[in-house]
Structure 1
Amino acid sequence: MSILSFFSGSEEVSVSEVVETFSDPACDDSFISGNTDAMLTNSRYGLILNRHNSAEYDSHVQALAWVSMEKDMALVPAKPVDDDSHSHPGEEGVELPSFYLDRHAVTNHQYAKFIAEGGYSQTDYWPREIWPNLLQFVDSTGYAGPRFWRNGKCPRDKETHPVVGISWFEARAFALWCGKRLPTSLEWQHAASWCTGKNGRGRSVRYPWGNTFSPEKTNTWAGGPGETVPVDEYYDGCTPNGVYQLIGNVWEWVATQFQYDVGTSGLRVNFEQPLAEIRGGAFDTYFETQATCQFRTGQPFLYRADNLGFRCCLPANQLREPPSPDAFD
């Protein structure tokens, strides 16, 4: 099977099929490597907390993993999918389960740990169909890694910037390595666009901070420096639960195939090659209408650009129960 046929087996590909096939959190012992100290240091707590992993960890290790996760990730409550979500056909009325989402986009520093642990050479992280493409996933000097790095390293002054120049498959491989997955399009939008009503119902806002575009709250063409910035900047543009830069700085890969519907006609545009959805806009996004929680577009799965990164999520129902309070001492 070629990369171009990866998602083209049928005209209809549901979000659930995409997530189940390509983005499940690791639940296989083959993904677990290294001791628990190294796993916690490298923020691979998703492997420790995944209830489907057969490995056993004592309550203290699990407590440390919970502390790390709740520091790095924000809980996004369950919510019914409604018409206001601009969802994919057939998803209205479905209950979107609660999940945890990274507070920040994955940084160059974090991605370097994945490379250091042999992420590009461990085939478990990569679908067999794209193994030949691994030779193309190199930096500007031929080392395995993001497209714009040099000699296998990111610029020293950009360690806390979002990693860019990586394909959808590289983002997915990192997520598997740390025991997480890419969020679906609906999950990403639910996290970014909170509702004004009670109990998760009501109109969804256009931006994480409200309904009015504010260039000082996000890194886009309108008010940014014209390049990426550290992932912890623009605090005023956070969601109420503390997720940064869902709008601006870099576009973000999600675990959903991009399908463009023509109005309410039910017609769908077929592209020459499958595209993955990207969300959120970037530092070079000029039009405000493209930097909203609802706007979605797509790029080829092998696309590697200087304005495109990602963040990861963890489904709440796949986590082990938190240990007793004594374990946190």
Structure 2
Amino acid sequence: MKKGLYFSPIILACIFTLSVIGCGEDDSVEIQSVDPPDASAIAADTTITVSFSAPPQNLTVSKGEVTTSDNTATISGPFPLGKLDIELTWEGGNRRLTYTVKDKVGEPVVPEGMVLIPEGEFQLGSISRDAGNVEQPGHTVYLNAFYMDKYEVTNADYKKFVDANPEWQKGTIASGFHDGNYLVNWSENTYPSGKANHPVVSVSWYAAAAYANWVNKRLPTEAEWEKAARGGVEGQRYPWGNSIDDSKANYSLNVGYAGSTTPVGDYPPNGYGIFDIVGNVLEWCLDTYDKDYYDDPPNKNPVAGPDSIEVVVENFKNITSSRALRGGSWVEGGQPRVWITYRRGNEPARTSHLIGFRCAKSVAP
């Protein structure tokens, strides 16, 4: 009697299953690479290339247009500026890609109302022999790129700040942050009629620093201020050249009967597109005023005083040392108080009808 082969129901079920799905094989389609890489910055017209382990079936994307060829998919824009999330879905899989879309990849997006001052060396404190009988050799210093406000902060700008921050209003500011004449030309919380676009004056260094923090900026260092004021030209007394010119700036009581501030932007800009960088009002700077500091400054990103930019910004209310002022005002004559290189300082609580400010901002690495 021959013995037949015997298969249990369990063994038969396993054989049938293996014949259908294979011996442990995974047929899922997966992404192998993405170019540009996920989480990077891209331009609006970038084409994104995605490589799969096998041809993706029924691939769709939430943003852009997609085409496929074998194992490769290309996603094209144009894409909107800002954060970009692209959902990819195909049979058996999905993936989200995230990018930051910029105007020009590799170049910072300049904040509204500011200009980019490029990184590099310049001659700090330099006045060439061509400027006349006074020659200052200057010092070669390197500055990282930064942004500078095109205009001085106006009354209208500053009112938005005090409306949003009552502790900096005229009637409530802490006594330690001013000298008793804070916003002396304002009536309570209202600036003078007809002067919305004039630079705000009679603000202390503390108040200027507080405003700058509120708008996510800071005050410029003296070195930054001077580089910005030069407009890309070395060795000159003024942003426009070496001769004083009352058509180029508001100085020496040359406006009206007795002189006054003028609306920001009334005079021509310098080579960087910055207005009223000399004249109109003196401008607070971030760093300590040290009359000897620029005799031999550090050759990279000089900041006078013991503290870094970051420490001053974060702890501005605790500052007690004098602060630098630059630029001359509507009262002062052009020789030399309106020169680009002219330096002075005052106590951080000081206010004056000659003093205002503009803001700067570091370029993110």
Shorter-chain TM-score tier: 0.5 to 0.7
1:174-193 deviation line (CA, Å, top 9, x unaligned): 00000000000000000011
Cα distance in 2 for residues equivalent to 1:251 and 1:81? 23
Question: TM-score when scaled to structure 2?
Answer: 0.56
Equivalent runs, 1:1-329 vs 2, <5 Å: 58=83, 70-82=111-123, 84-85=125-126, 92-118=139-165, 120=167, 133-134=176-177, 146-196=183-233, 203-221=234-252, 223-225=254-256, 226-235=259-268, 238-261=269-292, 274-317=321-364
Q: How many Å apart are 1:121 and its aligned residue?
A: 6.0
Question: Structure 1's 67 and 190: CA in aligned 2 closer, same or farther, altered over 3 A?
Answer: closer
Q: How many Å apart are 1:210 and its aligned residue?
A: 1.8
Residue aligned with 2:325, SS:
strand
Residue aligned with 2:260, SS:
coil
Q: Identity of paired residues, percent?
A: 30
1:203-239 deviation line (CA, Å, top 9, x unaligned): 332211122221221000163331001012012xx11
Matched to 1:208, the amino acid is: P
Structure 2 unmatched ranges of 5 or more: 1-81, 86-99, 128-137, 298-319
Question: Structure 1's 304 and 132: CA in aligned 2 closer, same or farther, altered over 3 A?
Answer: closer
Q: How many Å apart are 1:62 and its aligned residue?
A: 9.2
Q: 1:30 — aligned with what?
A: none
Residue aligned with 1:277, SS:
strand
Highest CA radius of gyration, 1 or 2?
A: 2
Structure 1 unmatched ranges of 5 or more: 1-56, 123-129, 140-144, 197-202, 267-272, 319-329
Residue aligned with 1:173, SS:
helix
Contact 2:237 2:341 in 1 (8 A): yes
Return the structure number with greater helix share. 1
Return the structure number with greater strand share. 2
Residue aligned with 1:216, SS:
coil
Q: How many Å apart are 1:82 and its aligned residue?
A: 3.9
Contact 1:78 1:98 in 2 (8 A): yes
Q: How many Å apart are 1:58 and its aligned residue?
A: 4.5
Contact 2:183 2:201 in 1 (8 A): yes
Give the superposed CA RMSD.
3.5
Matched to 2:260, the amino acid is: E
Q: How many Å apart are 1:119 and its aligned residue?
A: 5.1
Tell me the number of residue pairs that the alignment of Structure 1 and Structure 2 aligns: 230
1:123-156 deviation line (CA, Å, top 9, x unaligned): xxxxxxx95525x5777xxxxx623211211012
Contact 1:165 1:306 in 2 (8 A): yes
Cα distance in 2 for residues equivalent to 1:165 and 1:147? 6
Cα distance in 2 for residues equivalent to 1:285 and 1:111? 24
Cα distance in 1 for residues equivalent to 2:218 and 2:204? 15
Contact 1:247 1:280 in 2 (8 A): yes
Matched to 2:352, the amino acid is: A
1:227-276 deviation line (CA, Å, top 9, x unaligned): 001012012xx11121000010000000121112399799xxxxxx8321
Q: How many Å apart are 1:92 and its aligned residue?
A: 4.8
Contact 2:250 2:279 in 1 (8 A): yes
